[in-house]
Amino acid sequence: MSVEAFNRRLVAIVGEAAVLTSSDADAHLTDWRGRYAGRARCVVKPASTEEVAAVVALCAGERIPMVPQGGNTGLVGGATPHLDGHEVVINLSRMKRIREIDAANNTLTAEAGCLLAEVQAAAEQAERLFPLSLASEGSCEIGGNLSTNAGGTAVLRYGNMRELTLGIEAVLPDGRIWHGLRGLRKDNTGYDLKHLFIGAEGTLGIITAAVLKLFPRPRQTATAWLALRDPASAVELLSRLRGACGERVTGFEIVARPALELVLRHIPESRDPLAATSPWYVLAELTDTLVDVDLAGMLEAILGAEIEAGGVADVAVTQDLTQQRAFWHLRENISEAQRIEGISIKHDIAVPVSRIAEFIARADAELKRAFPAVRIVTFGHLGDGNLHYNLSRPEAAANAEFIAQTPEVNRIVHDIVAGLGGSISAEHGLGQLKRGEILRYKSAVEMDLMRAIKQALDPHGLMNPGKVL
């Protein structure tokens, strides 16, 4: 089939305005970081699951590869086409319906193109909470959150997208629709197929909708920004805080001073919460559905004891919404500040929480030994063992030379992670960035199983080729 005839078929399915073939498609061909750029036959924007299925069936029949895409906020090139221009980008941003809210069942059914912030708002209107929270929640979409098994800042209490999802609807690589939108918490009728698609980065099919778990909405929140001497102190504090407060501990983020300095330099209206500087900070948050619990008093008492013991140097505790937002503004804008500062070698790693301090100490030492002028920007979700460990040179002129040594840098970091029983990708996925790197750290058996699943569902290799595998 000629290109013109193929495009006419697409137009017949989704409408002329939803097939982008000129400069209108450019925004969909480059990733958020600006690291990957590609070309495509076209960008198609279906408005329903049936339209997605028809587009996929057409592409499958012509053996044309497809790149599923949501808000295009990923960090590993997973939603960016390759440079050969053979692929069709299937963007789901028009699929924005909240199909159902079942308050009694504590579930919400959302289409893949819904912004995460829109799902949060819909849950709040129903006096419920959808707890996934990311810095990009105003632009990332639920389909992408599912496809990367997104984590965010509240995983230690609520879990990542796997734990937050009860059922999905997906279009298979041949165009068939799997109707798996079940709002059940117990269903032992065979393999739990949704988990094949969650975290698969669009390589096994296209998720078009999901049944998501809702929770009681917190009635009060207490937030603290505190300074401490080292990561080991942060791990100890987390253990004591959870022991005293249980599941009230909703967020526990670690921020190294270089990360905070980038935000203060590049992000307007940013202010250091504490008078004296510190090498390390923690942003801790407690939430409770009860209003008769003195949450702030509880947090202040625990942190006061930590100050007396010497583990915490200084702290600011607040229940004021404006100040809470200011604290989170600092944490959530670290990635944006880094993007403004310039390209860095990013690592999204996970190790057991008990090994966090050991990882930082060993990786810092080995990198500084190999690259004495390296700048290490460390931050992330200490509460669930997920660190964003990013490296660059502070001088722009020297940074390009350093970035060229990415394989050597990655080997140092990833070998330490593997030795500590960790993962080289905690929540960003593999995409294009780590598809080769993962071969060093997954066993041959694991890779064979993954390839077997890919072959069974997508025998022609049309779904997001060159990603993950």
The tens digit of pLDDT for each residue in 415-445 reads 999 999 999 999 999 999 899 999 999 999 9
Domain boundary among 91, 119, 136: 91
Length in residues, the chain: 469
450 located within any domain: no
Q: Are residues 157 and 227 in the same domain?
A: no
Asked whether residue 109 falls in the same domain as residue 125, the answer is yes
* pLDDT mean across residues, the chain: 95
- Report the domain count for the chain: 4
Please compute the mean of the pLDDT values over residues 63-69 and round it to a whole number: 98
Q: Do both 224 and 324 map to the same domain?
A: yes
Residue 3: pLDDT band (50, 70, 90) is confident
Q: Provide the phi-psi class of 38: left if phi over 0, else alpha when psi is between -120 and 50, else beta.
A: beta
Band of pLDDT at residue 326, cut at 50, 70 and 90? very high
The model's pTM = 0.93
Q: What is the mean pLDDT of residues 276-293?
A: 96
Structure tokens at 157: 């209490």
Say how many Å lie between the first and final Cα of the chain, rounded: 29
pLDDT of 202 > 80? The answer is yes
Same domain, 318 and 350: no
Domain membership flag for residue 412 = yes
132 backbone dihedrals φ, ψ, rounded to 5°? -60, 130
> For residues 222 and 317, what is the distance between their CA atoms, to the nearest angstrom?
7
- Strands in 220-228's sheet, in edge-to-edge order, are 312-318, 220-228, 280-288, 249-256, 375-381, 386-392, 348-350
The domain that contains 348 carries what CATH number? 3.30.70.2740
Tokens of 414: 């990833």
Q: What is the pLDDT at residue 22? A: 77
pLDDT tens-digit map of 244-275: 999 999 999 999 999 999 999 999 999 999 99
319 and 240 together in one domain? yes
Would residue 440 count as lying in a domain? no
Residue 102 shares a structural domain with residue 10? no
Angle at 137 between CA 134 and CA 141, to 5 degrees: 115
Q: Using the Cα atoms of residue 20, residue 21, residue 27 and residue 33 in order, give the sign of their dihedral.
A: positive
Residue 208 in any domain: the answer is yes
Residue 55 lies in a domain: yes
Band the pLDDT of 29: cuts 50, 70, 90.
Answer: very high
Residue 33 has pLDDT above 90, yes or no: no
* Phi-psi sector, 351: left (phi>0), alpha (psi -120 to 50), beta: beta
* Mean pLDDT (whole number) for 129-138: 93
- Which domain covers residue 155, as residue numbers? 98-216
Tokens encoding 337: 């500040």
Return d(Cα 468, Cα 446) in angstroms, integer: 13
Torsion of CA 218, 222, 228, 230, to 10 degrees: 0
| pLDDT level of residue 311 (50, 70, 90 thresholds) | confident
Q: How confident is the model at residue 75 (pLDDT cuts 50, 70, 90)?
A: confident
Q: How far apart are CA 332 and CA 137, in angstroms?
A: 10
- Written in H, E and C, the secondary structure of 312-370 is EEEEEEECCHHHHHHHHHHHHCHHHHHHHHCCCECCEEECCHHHHHHHHHHHHHHHHHH
The predicted pLDDT at position 253 comes to: 98
What number is the average pLDDT over the span 393-416?
A: 93
Give the model's pLDDT for residue 44: 98
